[in-house]
Structure 1
Amino acid sequence: MLRFLFALAAFLTAAHAQTGEAVRTGHAESRLIAETTAAVPGETLWVALAQELEEGWHVYWKNPGDSGLPLSLGWTLPEGWEAGEIGYPIPHRLPLGPLTNFGHEGSPTFLVPITVPEGFATGESVTLDVFAEWLICLDVCIPESANLSLTIPVAETAQPVPGNAERIRAAKSAAPKDLGLEARFADTDGSITLRIEGAPAGEPVFYPNEGGMVEPSAPQSTARQDGALFIGLTPGIDYQIDPPENLDGLLVLEMDGQEIGVEITAPRAVGPIITTEQKRALAAGAPARRAADSMEGTPPMALLMIFGFAILGGVILNAMPCVFPIVFLKASSVAKLGGADRATIRMDAFAYTAGVLVTFAAMAALLLALRAGGATLGWGFHLQSPIAVGFFAVVVFLIGLNLAGLFEIGTSLQGAGGELSQKKGPAGSFFTGLLAVLVAAPCIGPLLGLPIGYALAAPPAAAIAVFLALGLGLALPYLLLAVFPQLAQALPKPGMWMVRLKQLFSFAMFGTVVWLAWVVSLQAGPQGVLYLGIAFVAAAVAAWLFGLSQEKGGALPLKVAAILAFVIAFAPLTQLTTSASATAVAVNKEAYDEARLARLQAEGTPVFIDFTAAWCVTCQYNKRVVLDTPEMKQLFAETGTIFMVADLTNPDPVITNAIERQGRSGVPLYLYYNGMGDPEILPQILTADRMRETLERS
């Protein structure tokens, strides 16, 4: 009996030795476990990092997708022992709004083979130590780490450890397999076609081993023909910059709720790999799983937050510098309502709101259609064209001349709609709402990064709903007049004071013209400014002739001359083209370069990135007030922080993709890399104190 008890105690002690002590961190419990009771010289000892994650939390695969960090293990082993690469479980897609990450939930087991050298002395125990680091996320992400150890005997033979052996064998069985499948890839019409011969049955999803090769959140189209599996992939930013010769990854096939993983090594094909018929089949193939493609992939509370941020962000947009001219224009409209009856006030407020909502919906639909067609565009895309900026500048110039009194369009002070504003107030208010959206579009104000980023990745109906919520917020201050018309009735009745107010507000329009002319100078260079100047002169002549025709009782020759001058005013704008020097960077700054950024991160050098554009007024405000001050330049020098400028004044797919990887869709965006891990996203309205606090942390 005593002999049995001693044997049992020895067995339990040995089993305990092959299971390291559990370490509890914020949202995970981690331990090292060994498959066998001993390490045998000359053989491979299989150990695993076994984790138990809190419900809903996840850690990341070796390619984390749009964001995140993979597991990192730093081993301290006896001399001659070697730890192999981490064997990850099959990942799952983890959508969050516009982003898609790759990771693991529940109880992941990360396998590590450890080679025990031949001739290593037996009869003693050794300790295996590892410093493990991982990023664990729910709706927030928290870096966690633990020092883990495992003591194990070295013996001539070994037996399976109950519990440990089953878990490690199950992980091995479920681990991706190399089935020797032949695979090739090629570029096809702006996308990647991956061809795999003899792939097993099941619904496929391809996970590239390296980040930046394939866009994680993009749908994958699939087709099977002639014994081959075809997968259509969207190139990632690194692929676009430096197309690889090999595309390696993991093919996950799901059938009847079961998943198998197959390792894929695909060299770039020398010739065509897909026929016209196969290409048609691939184009018609149903997209592979992508929870981010539906609103069902986003939790209800997250959707509530997205729509709430859109409405509140729209309200705040009224206080952003880029919308100030329209605020002045609308203020003159509201002033005109003094003494008006309640029905008129309500109609004006509803018309303005309708103009805002219709224009937001139209611009959103156009943007989504262009992106669906392959264009890499973000919100405010229309001001990336110098022709659009020039046209807009001439329209605002004419509005300024109208407010200054050079000519009149009916009796409306809201005229941005030509003859349409000769109708009573509502038509003018509608077109003022239209103009407000065109001016506001370049602004990504506080709280708007998340909803717009979500909208650009969501299905069309959900996307337009988000943009309509943003428009509702923008119009809300004026919509309140429909609810409380007594606010407008409290204003003085129209009189000479309105004429003076209108003339005063004309200077806000002319200030906007100066800004837009400067944008054109950066986009199209000095030649572009010359064309714009010709357009301004012709527009001024047209306005003057139109004003004369009004004084002469609508004289037909003057009206014809005015129309001719208007045509001449807009003709030079067709000659505006993007200048090669449009995105020149100041001497003490570097142009955005992702390869350079990666090197600086590897060296641990802090980097600040300014995602900006000449047409973004908030960006220019931050530049003048904070970033370009002598104090800030000295602080960058003292802290050794590299200042990069990612200029989106003209379309740039590399910069647009970089912005979208942060879950944003426009500028301004400010990122600070401290040399370790993911960047910190700074507020869109910068202050010297916040910048000093951020840079001095490095």
Structure 2
Amino acid sequence: MTAPKTALLLVTVLLLLAPGRAWGVAGEWAKNPQSSVRLITHWRTAPRSGELILGLQFLLSPGWHVYWKNSGDAGFPPSVTLQPADRLTTPEILWPTPRRFELPGGLVAFGYEKEVVYPVRVELKPEAPPATSDAAAPPAGDVLHLAADLDYLVCQVDCVPYRYTLTVDQPLVNQSDQPDSDPRTVLALQSWLDQVPRAPRELPGVRTGAVLDASRAGETPDLEIRVLGARAQGGKTDLFLESQETFDAGRPRLRATADGVVFHVPMKPKEANKPLPARATLDWTVANLVGKDGKPFNLEARRDVQVWTQGGAPPDPMKEEAPGGGSDRLPRLLLRAFLGGLLLCLTPAVLALLLAELFSLRLPGTGVREGAAAAATGVVGGCWAVAAIALLGRRAGLPASWPDLLQEPAVGALLVVAAMLLALNLWGFLEIPLPAASAGRAGTGRHLLAGLFTVPLAIAWPVPLLEEPVGFAFARGPAAVAALFAVIGFGLAFPYLLILLAPALGRRVPEPGAWLPRLREGLGFLAGGGALWLLYALSRRVSPVGLAGVELALLGMGLLAWLRAREGTWRLARFVLALGLAACAAGALWLADHNRLTPRPLTALETTTHTPISGG
């Protein structure tokens, strides 16, 4: 052995044998087949008064878990009392952010597996003053005997309750001396303290609010919780509601927005025939958010939430309005609906189709005004069709809001296919009832179908202006929905309406010439760019394997359309190729839905709230 190695070994032995204070203040483990638990503190020597942070440290066998403060559909959270009661205040458990456990029978639980430390905050009261003034000061080596009476339930499929008295001896020092923390227990406690959610006031730029919509008769009230100034972590962000005396919470649905995240939670009243309160106090925790600075955090909030039972859309969760303020919002919301429809004209695929259709109005075979009227009728009719489908979906319990529908992978794939079909048509590879590059005549039927096809291209692009008007209309009923979607259609068809109101504008459209096929080819690239953007949006909701399948299906559509458009192709072959193209389009929808990253939304028949059962 070399001299340096010998010296290093000698120093190590001396350090190990050197006298010093013992590491850590941690009690003995209480062990059972499912779990082990002990009491720890973050002080090696603690002050005689002030705040103490203790920890209930659990090690759990594989597959077993313990519970959060709301245990979910089964079980109960741990409870603890501390002794000596004359020196300690009532303990407060600081609950780390939990995770969701899916249990047999459709039940769900909230808690922790493998390992968890429940931080416990308690105040150490000052000792009683000495009976005489000449009494000696307490010795520096005093020890406080801490005892924690713990009840908890540990579960896998079956649950086993346990009760232990955990103890630890905490050395104390006088106020004049410097308390000393323990690095190892501090690290264990701090790692779990970091997982305790933070209040919005501790997070600059983060706001949260909620409203409970109970205005629709016969439907389960819907709780909307909005968090602004944060974004979701893909596949990790979740919402946990604490128990509430009036409502049982269902499974939350997450929607990402440009400025935050939104959750919708069905809230089933515990007593069906009891009138709902005007307000309800709700506590929630949102797990795994990311701030604008890129740092992850967990959020908890407590709000006195308005229970909206009147007609009209519920108030903005971030800014509650006075009750009865729905009627004076109607003109403003209708204007927003019209402007939202007008903005949709500028989206890539819609703009490509709109320009191609406007130039086709000058083709022989129909008048400019007649063609514009047919196209406008198709747009408004398509908007009504979308409204009818949304109403039917809402009745079935599916999400009816525009952004929620766009989160559905099959809907996203359908919109990609629609943009792809438009691009193939404008390139002259596919003859569908739209202004194709080889078209010599354009009757009103073609213009009507062009207007209808505009709508699925438009709904691919959520416009923030439309969120509030659409929510308002669905709260009012089918008639309001039909009226609002007609106004959106008027905005989307505004270029055609201008030609109807001012025929001179139609005459200013240049006559078709040799430049028109080249223009349509360029517009085809615009529509294709829209399809690529929609594919990118779809990549966030579909697995890589599913996305690759969708892309292959789109490639197959392009190849089959090219083969079908070649001169000399037999009529039977054209028919077979058209069937293959339709199969590729249907396959894209199936692949997107089959390889979705998010769970399929529950319908009203599937969404049930289970009565909590007592564990153990």
TM-score bracket, shorter-length normalisation: 0.3 to 0.5
* RCO higher in structure (CA 8 A, sep ≥6): 2
TM-score normalized by the length of structure 1? 0.41
Name whichever structure is richer in helix by fraction.
1
